[in-house]
Chain A
Amino acid sequence: DSGVTQTPKHLITATGQRVTLRCSPRSGDLSVYWYQQSLDQGLQFLIQYYNGEERAKGNILERFSAQQFPDLHSELNLSSLELGDSALYFCASSVAGGLGEQFFGPGTRLTVL
């Protein structure tokens, strides 16, 4: 157990819908990262938050947004879902903004029908 929690574990929804994925980092970790794993794109970095502020952005679609709350948990919002958004979404956390190991949560498997 990495200490990073993600909910829900599985999510099945329809095209055009909106979903929210939730992540709680390990105790003491200030930085949260979101990654998407799909068969065609592999593992890709989406976005990073550090102590409540956006720190870095990857290939995140405009339909996707995220935030980190004062208690350091983070949410990834995916809207106007398309079939191609079906993927495994991981949250990871680390102690500092860029240094140290990143520990991954169990992931949320999103299926868009």
Chain B
Amino acid sequence: AQKITQTQPGMFVQEKEAVTLDCTYDTSDQSYGLFWYKQPSSGEMIFLIYQGSYDEQNATEGRYSLNFQKARKSANLVISASQLGDSAMYFCAMREGQGAGGTSYGKLTFGQGTILTVHP
């Protein structure tokens, strides 16, 4: 079963507008972490934001915020005031707590990604 689902293969947004990239996850762990990464066309993976499962407040980092809805198992990324440089692939990822046998020590499971295009 897919653990991280990003249902939007591509999204378009006008410069200076806000955009929400969807991410849902599946886990039976109580302790887990959710991450968003940006991959521009140059290929590097840039860490954007992190949310722990026990964090009561939504994470924010500058123009990025994570809309964490635990009961719905969703961790959507909100980018406010989009800029042309935000055009990139965006990945949602999850780090589960200790898996069966205690072997999941921090590995990330990624979604398929969403390509965001910002129009001027």
Contacts and interface: CB of A to CB of B under 8 A. Distances in A.
Interface of A: 2, 31, 33, 35, 42-45, 48, 50, 55-56, 58, 88, 90, 92, 94, 96-99, 101-107, 109
B81 interface: no
B64 interface: no
A109 B107 contact: no
Interface stretch (B10-18, B20-28, B68-76, B98-106): B98-106
Closest 5 CB pairs of A and B: A98-B106, A104-B45, A43-B110, A45-B107, A98-B105
A48 B106 contact: yes
By size class, the interface of chain B is 20 to 34
Given A42-B112, A102-B35, A33 B106 contact: yes
A56 B108 contact: no
B103 A102 contact: no
Contacts of B47: 2, 101-104
B115 to A, nearest CB: 13
B109 A97 contact: no
Nearest to A97: B105
Contacts of B43: 88, 106-107, 109
Interface of B: 33, 35, 37, 43-47, 50, 91, 93, 95, 98, 103-110, 112-113
B44 A106 contact: yes
A23 B14 CA distance: 38
B50 to A, nearest CB: 5
Contact of A56 (B44, B50, B103): B103
Contacts of A2: 44, 46-47
Contact of B106 (A88, A99, A109): A99
B106 A56 contact: yes
A31 B45 contact: no
24 contacts: A2-B46, A2-B47, A35-B108, A42-B112, A43-B110, A44-B110, A45-B107, A48-B107, A50-B105, A56-B105, A56-B106, A58-B107, A88-B43, A97-B106, A98-B95, A98-B98, A98-B104, A98-B106, A102-B47, A104-B45, A104-B47, A105-B44, A107-B43, A107-B44
